[in-house]
């Protein structure tokens, strides 16, 4: 599942980059963006790549079916992506259109009562530097927690003690810009110049341990 924790009206970029985007010019339909591939796990526990997300698996904060979608996440193979703009040491996510902000405790409020605290799956904050510690702009040595750490902490302290949390330590491409050895385009990690390719997005993904986890 992909959860964009903002109103649908503010989430067009994330929706199109996840689900794909088509153009129709003079009756000829062309694909500008094919959308995300998702990992599916078969009955033998093997991951299958290449299945596209559908609109049944992507939802926003104001969607009427948000709670029902979250309730579908139950086992350890289920995965919930959160999307939004971020930066190192940021305390909030910013909406795809950069008009709104949401803090970790606000995301928790959107999940509570729908996503079971018994959820054993994975939560990934797919945002630039969501897993990167930041530092103050004055002395440069006072650390600020990453957003993924903040989210992991508030969720763990609220009873979500069985799921795993992940963040990213680089800028990430919104669109599928990085070509694999097999010739397929995937989401990538890029340098601060937004041009230097560092690898696939998962090469800069790290697991986040909640602060109070023993």
- Give the residue carrying structure tokens 């003690």: 161
Region 153-174 average pLDDT: 94
pLDDT category at 44 given cuts 50, 70, 90 is very low
101 is a domain residue: yes
The domain in which residue 98 lies consists of: 2-172+204-208
185 is a domain residue: no
107 is a domain residue: yes
Which pLDDT does position 43 carry in this prediction? 46
Q: What are the tens digits of pLDDT across the range 173-194?
A: 886 666 555 555 667 788 888 7
Question: Which of 171, 168, 165 has the alpha carbon at shortest distance from 205?
Answer: 168
Domain count, the chain: 1
142 is a domain residue: yes
131 is a domain residue: yes
198 is a domain residue: no
Alpha helices in 72-203, H assignment, sequence order: 104-111, 147-157
189 is a domain residue: no
Q: What are the tens digits of pLDDT across the range 96-106?
A: 999 999 999 99
22 is a domain residue: yes
- Cα–Cα distance for residue pair 47/130, rounded to 1 Å: 25
Cα torsion for 96, 97, 102, 107, to the nearest 10°?
A: -40
């Amino acid at each position: 599942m992909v959860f964009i924790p903002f109103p649908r009206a503010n989430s067009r970029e994330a929706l199109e980059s996840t689900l794909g985007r088509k153009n129709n010019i003079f009756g000829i339909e062309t694909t500008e963006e094919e959308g995300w591939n998702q990992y599916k796990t078969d009955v033998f526990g093997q991951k299958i790549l290449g299945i596209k997300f559908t609109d049944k698996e992507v939802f926003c904060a104001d969607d009427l079916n948000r709670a029902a979608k979250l309730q579908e996440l139950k086992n350890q193979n289920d995965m919930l992506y959160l999307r939004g703009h971020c930066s190192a040491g940021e305390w909030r996510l910013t909406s795809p259109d950069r008009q709104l902000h949401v803090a970790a405790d606000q995301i928790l409020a959107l999940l509570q009562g729908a996503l079971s605290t018994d959820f054993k799956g994975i939560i990934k904050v797919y945002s630039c530097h969501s897993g990167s510690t930041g530092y103050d702009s004055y002395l440069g040595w006072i650390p600020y927690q990453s957003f993924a750490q903040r989210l992991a902490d508030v969720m763990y302290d609220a009873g979500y003690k069985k799921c795993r949390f992940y963040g990213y330590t680089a800028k990430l491409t919104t669109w599928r810009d990085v070509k694999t050895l097999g010739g397929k385009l995937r989401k990538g990690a890029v340098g601060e110049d937004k041009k230097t390719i560092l690898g696939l997005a998962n090469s800069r993904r790290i697991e986040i341990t909640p602060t109070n986890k023993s």
